[in-house]
Amino acid sequence: TMIINDMASLLGCTMCISDEITAITFVALGTSLPDTFASMTAAKSEPHADSSVGNVTGSNSVNVFLGLGLPWTIAAVYWAAAGRTGDWLDRHRPLYEAGRLDAAAFERGGFLVPAGDLAFSVAVFAMCATGTLGIIAYRRRRFHAELGGPAGAKATTALLLVGLWLLYIALASWRTVRGQSAPAPGAGEELGAVAIGALALLFGLGLASATIHAASHFLAARHAEKTS
């Protein structure tokens, strides 16, 4: 993971991409591709979808609860014992002078990490995750299967899930780039960006679904002509 992070940071630097955008694109892809192939293998070999879906949720739970919680606890204990050292002041004085840390937190010391654009990114991720759960619930009621199904529904589901990922990347990247300018975007502008992104996703999905449906009918007609 450390090697992937360093290589992705160097790649982002050469491409003039900020660390925030690099983290949700190159780093996320590099650390999640093994889980993707593991889920694909489980989906092919297991009779039920529990293993493939559970692999994704289990991996994310480890990343969130253990991957964030354990380093956070270690850092909190360390900086609480070390106090406001020279290294601590070098790290946090620029944040305090820029107004990203209040006076009480700066005087108290400890492990401090300003959130930045995290709230918007997490909100968009939660929205996309809720949409994914809705898709899984719909597939269970409609096709009695979370994975697979008819060719058209299978392709449409895949496109929708990829579209949700692209929507998250686009909105989170927009907020990072937009947040670097002054003034920062307000809640109305953020909601407008989410609405535009959702409409673009629905339009693209509708167009792709219509294309898949027409292609399926065309191939079925060709097949019927050949067999008749």
Q: Is 27 left (phi over 0), alpha (psi -120 to 50) or beta?
A: alpha
198 vs 101, higher pLDDT: 198
Torsion of the alpha carbons at 153, 156, 162 and 167, rounded to the nearest 10: -130
pTM of this structure: 0.77
Amino acid at 7: M
150 vs 116, higher pLDDT: 150
pLDDT single digits (tens) 16-73: 888 778 888 877 877 787 888 888 888 788 777 778 888 888 888 888 888 888 988 9
Beta-carbon contacts of residue 184 (< 8 Å; ≥ 6 apart): 178
- Of the ranges 177-181, 204-208, 213-217, the best mean pLDDT one: 204-208
In angstroms, the Cα distances linking 42 to 29, 53, 97, 145 are 19, 9, 52, 15
79 vs 213, higher pLDDT: 79
Residue 123 scores a pLDDT above 80: yes
CB atoms within 10 A of CB 42: 19
Secondary-structure percent of the chain, ordered helix, strand, coil, rounded to 5: 80, 0, 20
Residue 210 scores a pLDDT above 70: yes
Instruction: Tell me whether the omega of the peptide bond preceding residue 94 falls within 30 degrees of 0, making it cis.
Output: no
Tokens in use for 86? 């020279």
Given a contact cutoff of 8 angstroms between Cβ atoms, the answer to whether 162 and 36 are in contact is: no
pLDDT single digits (tens) 178-193: 776 666 677 788 888 8
Q: How far is CA 105 from the centre of its chain?
A: 30
d(CA 81, CA 34): 38
Q: Average of pLDDT values for 156-181?
A: 85
Tell me what pLDDT residue 182 has: 60
174 vs 6, higher pLDDT: 174
Tokens in use for 134? 């809705």
Instruction: Tell me whether the omega of the peptide bond preceding residue 114 falls within 30 degrees of 0, making it cis.
Output: no
pLDDT single digits (tens) 79-120: 888 888 888 888 888 888 877 777 887 888 888 887 777 788
d(CA 144, CA 38): 23
* Mean pLDDT score across all residues of the chain: 81
| Nearest of 64, 210, 44, 34 to residue 126 by alpha carbon | 64
SS (H, E, C) 86-99: HHHHHHHHHHHHCC
pLDDT band of 1, cuts 50, 70, 90: low
Tell me what pLDDT residue 150 has: 79
